[in-house]
């Protein structure tokens, strides 16, 4: 930008998602729930995918309170056929946020095959095939789209007793970069958001241990445990036209953890 260039007067409006439809997996609570609510506040109708319909209803109420339509999709994201069937209820998808995921910390030598399979099914397989199903629709409409995969700082560094989780999140980072390049000519952007430990129902039990909390805070230069809204605002930015020239990258919401 030269010295005389000016920011367009509608630059702030590019953070809006008016007229768009977003799908959020794992959208019933935690990071996914926060993303679903914020995307609705930015103007999008939101399809919420999770296993339990009752859990979806709470987030759906927040979407509707923002004046947007919601599509509750109760299915197991690890079942590719069920996902495809559920998506039939949604007219189109312009934004996909893959937030469904899980963790089960174990020392490497204690990892069992069931844990490995469960975490890779949920963290990798589900993201892969949900994305594939959604992108097929985007390609058919020829209107582009935006995909944001919720990864983790564990996709960039090692974390104690989390060999399977780290491996799965490194896989998401590689997957996202690869399809970002492949889908760019089709006008489909793909990025990741990599949070540190965030106060969610999945993380809170670990934070009840003062020693663990002290360790986490000692690794975060900004000295704060993350909030759901910290992640949701990053997701909104990458999902929106404000990030129209950003693809194949990762926005690390980690307070500086991975900078060390």
Active site residues: 165
Of 131, 132, 127, the residue nearest 168 (C-alpha)? 127
What is the C-alpha separation between 90 and 224, in angstroms, rounded? 38
Q: For residue 172, give the DSSP letter.
A: H
What is the C-alpha separation between 105 and 100, in angstroms, rounded? 17
**Phi and psi angles of residue 24, each rounded to the nearest 5 degrees, phi first:** -120, 115
Dmax over CA atoms of the chain, in Å, equals: 62
**Phi and psi angles of residue 133, each rounded to the nearest 5 degrees, phi first:** -65, -40
Q: Give the strand pairing for 70-74 and 145-150.
A: unpaired
What is the C-alpha separation between 114 and 95, in angstroms, rounded? 32
What is the C-alpha separation between 106 and 193, in angstroms, rounded? 24
Of 252, 194, 258, 196, the residue nearest 227 (C-alpha)? 196
Contact 171, 116 (CB under 8 A): no
| Element housing 189 (H / E) | strand 188-195
């Amino acid at each position: 930008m030269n010295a005389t260039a000016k920011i367009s007067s509608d630059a702030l409006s590019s953070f809006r998602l008016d007229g768009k439809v977003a799908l959020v997996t794992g959208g019933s609570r935690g990071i996914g729930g926060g993303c679903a609510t914020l995307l609705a506040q930015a103007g999008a109708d939101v399809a919420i995918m999770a296993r339990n319909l009752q859990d979806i209803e709470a987030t759906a109420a927040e979407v509707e309170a923002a004046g947007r339509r919601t599509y509750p999709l109760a299915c197991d994201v690890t079942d590719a056929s069920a996902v495809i069937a559920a998506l039939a209820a949604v007219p189109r998808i312009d934004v996909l946020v893959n937030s469904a995921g899980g963790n089960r910390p174990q020392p490497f030598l204690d990892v069992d095959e069931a844990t490995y399979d469960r975490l890779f099914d949920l963290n990798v397989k589900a993201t892969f095939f949900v994305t594939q199903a959604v992108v097929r629709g985007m390609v058919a409409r020829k209107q582009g789209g935006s995909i944001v995969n919720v990864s983790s700082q564990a996709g960039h560094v090692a974390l104690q007793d989390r060999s399977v989780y780290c491996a799965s999140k490194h896989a998401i980072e590689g997957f996202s970069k690869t399809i970002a390049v492949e889908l760019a000519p089709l006008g489909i952007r793909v990025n990741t958001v990599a949070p540190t430990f965030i106060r969610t129902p999945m993380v809170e039990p670990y934070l009840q241990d003062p020693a663990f909390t002290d360790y986490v805070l000692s690794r975060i230069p900004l000295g704060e445990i993350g909030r759901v809204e910290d992640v949701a605002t990053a997701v909104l930015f990458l999902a929106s036209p404000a990030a129209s020239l950003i693809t194949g990258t990762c926005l690390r919401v980690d307070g500086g953890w991975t900078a060390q």
